A and B are shown apart, each in its own frame.
Chain A
Amino acid sequence: MSTNTNAIETERLSKRYGRRTALDDCTVAIPTGHVVGLVGANGAGKSTLLQLAVGLLEPTDGTITVLGGRPGAGPAQLARVGFLAQDAPVYGNLTVGDHLQLGERLNPGWDRALARRRIERFGLDPRQRAGRLSGGQRSQLALTIAIGKRPELLLLDEPVASLDPLARREFLADLMQLAAEHQPTVVLSSHLLSDVERVCDHVVVLAGGRVRVAGDVDDLLASHKVLTGARTVSTALPPGQTAISASHTDRQTTLLIRTAGPVHDPRWQVSDVGLEELVLAYMSADVPARSLAAVGP
């Protein structure tokens, strides 16, 4: 298998629960070697996409390929993908030590030294029952189990949503150390954009079950600008520029645009865009999603 296989690749992927559509015609490629932020409002399809990638769900339509293989296809595929479900589930009646033993028995490639080191570093008592851990400790234990099998791809569903700010920062700092040391591809879903901006170098924006935009964070920031001008300015844009969102007051018009090159029109004041502003624009944009998913650098 080539080393530049995408971590996750979907082709016209859809998932419906009865009459409700959770994912709708998603085509996206997520490269390896990045920390990828999967962002979108609640119900946008983030958890569904992650559960499809780990093999807990089957697609209704289309295909999904993970590290070149079919999700959950067999022991070899399962060993390559680590998954931390929302709210960091642990077995409340089992001890921390029991969890480590389970991890070791169930995973052929288990890294016992790594797991032990993490438990010690976070001051977790192996005899402590998991149900009595704090939220932050429980997340650290669950991440330890997910990372203990040394996966190539680590999928995290809202890993910090239930943590207080201090525990959140510690969790992310630890995750980034893991990323620096072991270099797994990490895909984490989050609706906390400031966290995504800190830790992710690639983003996928989902809204209404569709991929609105996906790409390298720095490339996306470089190819989008905010234009501000008088209300009378025509919003027609030259070729190569596309408006993603527009807002108007009585006197002023503000556009967020995607552009291939610099903007020279003197009627506009041009400024750079932040990741949060960009993501929000795509999340609320009323545009045909398929045409936007293919944004390149």
Chain B
Amino acid sequence: MAMSDSLILTTVDQAKHWAQRSSLWPLTFGLACCAIEMMTSTAPRYDLARFGSEVFRGSPRQADLMIVSGRVCRKMVPQVRQLYAQMASPKWVIAMGACASSAGIFDNYAVVQGVDHILPVDVYVPGCPPSPEALIYGIMKIQDKIRRGLPPAAEAVPVAGGASGVS
């Protein structure tokens, strides 16, 4: 009895995870030069559509992946937080490039020193900027995470403002 319950649950989970990872929809959201590489990754040469992630949504309500593609300046923090809070759970965050990961060369008063200060980050993609292949690899890492049933960082990493980014 208990065993067949868990068997069904596992199968449903697997089906759900397959659906989730096959249609990760990123938020249309570019901050800097990394956004150029992000756009390129959806274009025919790299064709992110092969991995089910090419539908960039104009509304955070329809997106479940935020690709932070560039440096976040201090004044942008409330806007980034609000966009993140408006996304429906479960949701994932990629810190694309050196600036989103650690502020890169911008060791100064104006730039947030890594977007993980304000958001729970799932995957860090290194590079300045990362090539489209690197970003696609990062997205596949998130798909891998979903396939293995790991929770998004939003549920696992404590950040200021709580898991949804607001409280």
| A joins B in a complex | no
Q: Which residues of A contact B (CB under 8 A)?
A: none
